[in-house]
Structure 1
Amino acid sequence: MSNFMNLIEKKLMPIAAKVGQNRYLNAIKDGFVYTMPFLIIGSFILLLVNLPFTDPKNVLYMEWYSNLMGAFKGDLVQPFYVSMGIISLFVSYGIGMSLSNYYKLNGTTGGFLSMYAFLLISAKLDWLPIGQAEGASSLFLIGEGGWMPVMDARYLDAKGLFTAILGAIIAIEIFRVLVQRKFVIKLPDSVPPAIAKSFELLIPIVVVTILYHTINILVMKNLGVMVPEVILKTFAPLLNMSDSLLSLIILLLIIHLFWFAGLHGTNIVVAVVNSITLSNLATNQAALQAGETIPKIFAGGFVDSFIFMGGVGTTLGLTFAMIRSTNTHIKSIGKLSLLPAIFNINEPIMFGTPIVMNPLLFIPFITVPIVNGTIAWFATKYGLVSKIVTLVPWTTPGPLAALLATNFDFSAAILSLVLILLSYFIYTPFLKIYTNSLKEGEM
């Protein structure tokens, strides 16, 4: 154990520190963080218009709800389309703003540049006569015989995420190089700052336009598809592999090893994880909307619903065990930590018990999430619980998060409760050993 602790301190912590300070990963993380409130609202809208109340054979059937959705579902679902439906647009702006701020550039103009670059290679726009689009006149409230602008929005949702990430980073790097080498238009100091900053972006916009539009034309002419389709196919093996149990276990190991070393493991890997889970969530939501079989297991808040109850390490079970402890220190920490743990905040447990760098609690801290994740993965794979289709705030208590995320599948909530109970039983003997060690230290 001593050698293992030395290995973590000398090898793992420097790696984690470098990863945590990586400007690109931090920009990607920020891009998703800025976007999350919109995605949560959009997901709840999708949930509300797809509640399991429309099947007459279902015990939950409600005729009034079925009639309401039949008449107005297309109108009510619109907030979903302008949130989750254009997630890549939001993310591209967020990444551009964050990375620009890192380079001490103007964040707002950098965000707009990234969004512009993404649209250049991801969204084709043209004007079409109303007659070419059946039902368009009534749907878009345009008079018969008129024209309307039509944008191909297929890749503005999660299918364009990888394009948004790469496109934003490259655009801001171009912006940075041009500014550093003084290839920008500088106006006199008497000009208002907002106007001066906008003119500073003119040359970067010209360069980005030439580069991105040329790439887009070449790809469409030679491959017959748009750039996001090429990038999506390139990353398809990663997305398919990420939905496996092995990938989930590896991810949990990395997160919990970082946490054990005193580093915020979740934040370190969140940029990569969100790219995968939100892409998978969008796939599931598209299937839900189309009435098709929902394909992805590791999507949205899967870990929040079935693994991170109480926070990393499934420490809600440990909190209950601590409250029942005979040791005054452990019991008091457990009581103080209960309310935050219910909402998946476990820093009091992590640093108050402590779990960080505590060899006696290391085994359950690593084991419990893997055991719970494995059970939840197989239960989802074999249809014992429904797959995730809604994005829920990570502070939502586990059973409630599972219920909402799976479109009111009560078996998912029950599974989450069972996994909390299981974590309690796994943690308890190790906590007793640790408690005894504290008594011996006092003596």
Structure 2
Amino acid sequence: MNDKLMTFIESKILPIAGKIASNRYLNAIRDGFVFAMPFLIIGSFILLILNLPFTDKSNFLYMEWYTNLMNSFKADLVQPFYVSMGIMSLFVAYGIGYSLSGHYQLNSITGGFLSLFSFLLVSAKVEYVPIAEAVAKSFLVDADSYIPVMDVRFMDAKGLFVAIIFGIISIEIFRFLVKKKLIITLPESVPPAIAKSFELLIPVAVVIVLFQALNIIIQKKLIMMIPELVMKIFEPLLHVSDSLPSIILLLIIHILWFAGLHGTNIVDAIVKAITLSNLAINQAALQAGEPVTKIFAGGFFDSYVFMGGVGTTLGLAIAMVRSKNEHIKSIGKLSIVPAVFNINEPIMFGAPVVMNPLLMIPFIFIPIINITIAYILTKLNIVGHVVTLVPWTTPAPLGALLATNLNFGAMILSFVFIFTSFLMYKPFLKAYEISLEKEEGSNK
């Protein structure tokens, strides 16, 4: 049975996963999200600080000073959120262009700007509009003054898919023109920075012609902007992705890890596009004082599955520290501290968990059990929804507390999952100990 399983993984799963892992577009999308993450995390924490559950007089956490502070200054203090989470698609668009250009050995910086320009071209209309008296003070202008206003409705998560699609297309246009030598090249005596800027002139012109023509056609024929059309196309995906079966399907990450591949990196581009879109919906609802509805948002996996890393291996690390087998115990001691911060490479390759049939069953099924329970409890509003983006290295119970706007039920559930994972890993680890002892005995 074990031999057949290993043969199936090596012959069927590994080749497919390897191709996915090396896909240039998925890698560029993943890099785009990675580059944007510091801004998104800070923006999320600002939103959390400005929406703490301290303003409800019926709640024991009520604080009058905090309520007064928010009533007076919230509109000013929330601005960093709007220029981080509120324009995340700008960061992602530049990151995708930068990464994909580097893959093609084009100039990464100019490629990043081309991708960003393409996104703005199809997503952000600019018009001179009169400013109403009610908001004139915020803009520090006189009422009825005409100022240029950029439409930023699609710069948040609603523009992510547009940033991905048009970022990739623009770099492919750039690559094609460079390959065909349809670019302006200056003599070697010209400073490199200037030469590179002229290199981008024709790609920019081509992008303007193609994308602006598409803009006009869609706006005239469908009476909508390109981001609206793209959102309508991807709306069913976002709806389905928030269902329990879809979330469980994404736990294929664990099968890839078991096969020795970095499953998180392989699937991350798809997961991030979904979770950040859902997180933005939750944050908009939180900011408006409306019910938060999306379950699979932000660090939902980090709070309830990746405790100790993929496979909820913090429970396994604890069990290994308590083992009587010297090899397992030593790996456990080495792995326990990184596992607290959700880093589990020492345990994955030291135990090992990779290609270990005895540990495969809990490694794959514990996350499924956890996510099913967490999904149901979140759906029933027994634990809070994720509304804040927390660094993935934050210890899971604390991360769950922060991600759900100080919902103590989420933190308790995370602690419970660590304990139950320890209990579920323990018998399988015992079986692994016995197999190691037999192997050591046969080698004597």
Normalising TM by the smaller chain, what interval?
Answer: over 0.9
Partner of 2:279: 281
Partner of 2:44: 43
What one-letter code is carried by the residue in structure 2 that aligns with 1:220?
Q
Alpha-carbon distance in 1 for matches of 2:281, 2:144: 36
Alpha-carbon distance in 2 for matches of 1:277, 1:65: 30
> Which of 297, 301, 309 in structure 2 is aligned with 1:311?
309
What one-letter code is carried by the residue in structure 1 that aligns with 2:4?
N
What one-letter code is carried by the residue in structure 1 that aligns with 2:104?
Y
Partner of 1:431: 429
Alpha-carbon distance in 2 for matches of 1:143, 1:380: 47
Superposed displacement of residue 129, structure 1: 2.1
How far does the alpha carbon of each residue in 1:125-176 deviate from its partner, in whole angstroms, 9 at most, with x for none?
Answer: 111123xx34232011113453211111100000000000000000000011
> Which of 247, 252, 261 in structure 2 is aligned with 1:263?
261
> Which of 336, 339, 356 in structure 2 is aligned with 1:338?
336
What one-letter code is carried by the residue in structure 1 that aligns with 2:124?
A
Partner of 2:206: 207
Partner of 1:441: 439
Alpha-carbon distance in 2 for matches of 1:390, 1:145: 37
What one-letter code is carried by the residue in structure 2 that aligns with 1:146?
S
Alpha-carbon distance in 1 for matches of 2:387, 2:202: 43
Alpha-carbon distance in 2 for matches of 1:125, 1:157: 17
Superposed displacement of residue 248, structure 1: 1.0
The secondary structure found in structure 1 opposite 2:137 is helix
Please give the residue correspondences for 1:252-401 in structure 2 after superposition, counting only pairs within 5 Å: 252=251, 254-401=252-399
Task: Report how many residues are paired.
Answer: 440
Please give the residue correspondences for 1:59-78 in structure 2 after superposition, counting only pairs within 5 Å: 59-78=60-79
Partner of 1:87: 88
Superposed displacement of residue 293, structure 1: 0.8
Alpha-carbon distance in 2 for matches of 1:280, 1:129: 34
What one-letter code is carried by the residue in structure 2 that aligns with 1:111?
G
What one-letter code is carried by the residue in structure 2 that aligns with 1:234?
I
What one-letter code is carried by the residue in structure 2 that aligns with 1:42?
G
Partner of 2:138: 139
The secondary structure found in structure 1 opposite 2:129 is strand
The answer on whether the counterparts of 2:278 and 2:298 sit within 8 Å (CA) in structure 1 is yes
Superposed displacement of residue 11, structure 1: 1.1
Superposed displacement of residue 187, structure 1: 0.9
Partner of 1:193: 192
Superposed displacement of residue 10, structure 1: 1.0
With the length of structure 2 as denominator, give the TM-score of the two structures.
Answer: 0.98
Partner of 2:147: 148
Alpha-carbon distance in 1 for matches of 2:130, 2:440: 84
Partner of 1:230: 229
What one-letter code is carried by the residue in structure 2 that aligns with 1:202?
L
Partner of 1:414: 412
Alpha-carbon distance in 2 for matches of 1:419, 1:40: 25
Superposed displacement of residue 328, structure 1: 1.0
Partner of 1:402: 400
RMSD: 0.8
Q: Percent identity?
A: 66
Partner of 2:160: 161
Structure 1 position 128 matched with structure 2 position 129: yes
Structure 1 position 54 matched with structure 2 position 55: yes
The answer on whether the counterparts of 1:136 and 1:142 sit within 8 Å (CA) in structure 2 is no
Instruction: Structure 2 unaligned segments of length 5 or more: list them.
Output: none
Alpha-carbon distance in 1 for matches of 2:346, 2:381: 36
Partner of 1:170: 169
Alpha-carbon distance in 2 for matches of 1:136, 1:366: 54
Superposed displacement of residue 334, structure 1: 0.7
Alpha-carbon distance in 1 for matches of 2:315, 2:133: 57
The answer on whether the counterparts of 2:30 and 2:268 sit within 8 Å (CA) in structure 1 is yes
The answer on whether the counterparts of 2:256 and 2:263 sit within 8 Å (CA) in structure 1 is yes
Q: Structure 1 residues 145, 373: CA separation in 2 closer, same or farther (over 3 Å shift)?
A: closer
What one-letter code is carried by the residue in structure 1 that aligns with 2:434?
N
Which runs of structure 1 show a deviation greater than 4 angstroms over 4 or more consecutive aligned residues? Answer: none
The answer on whether the counterparts of 2:184 and 2:202 sit within 8 Å (CA) in structure 1 is yes
What one-letter code is carried by the residue in structure 2 that aligns with 1:317?
G
Alpha-carbon distance in 2 for matches of 1:165, 1:76: 30
The secondary structure found in structure 1 opposite 2:250 is helix
What one-letter code is carried by the residue in structure 2 that aligns with 1:199?
F
Superposed displacement of residue 183, structure 1: 0.7
Alpha-carbon distance in 2 for matches of 1:144, 1:259: 59
Partner of 2:241: 242
Alpha-carbon distance in 2 for matches of 1:57, 1:214: 56
Superposed displacement of residue 299, structure 1: 0.4
The answer on whether the counterparts of 2:133 and 2:143 sit within 8 Å (CA) in structure 1 is no
Instruction: Structure 1 unaligned segments of length 5 or more: list them.
Output: none
Alpha-carbon distance in 1 for matches of 2:414, 2:155: 33
The secondary structure found in structure 2 opposite 1:186 is coil
How far does the alpha carbon of each residue in 1:196-224 deviate from its partner, in whole angstroms, 9 at most, with x for none?
Answer: 00000000000000111111111111111
Alpha-carbon distance in 1 for matches of 2:207, 2:245: 40
Alpha-carbon distance in 2 for matches of 1:137, 1:344: 48
The secondary structure found in structure 2 opposite 1:155 is coil
The answer on whether the counterparts of 1:95 and 1:111 sit within 8 Å (CA) in structure 2 is yes
Alpha-carbon distance in 1 for matches of 2:386, 2:359: 31
Alpha-carbon distance in 2 for matches of 1:81, 1:398: 27
The secondary structure found in structure 2 opposite 1:383 is coil
What one-letter code is carried by the residue in structure 2 that aligns with 1:257?
I
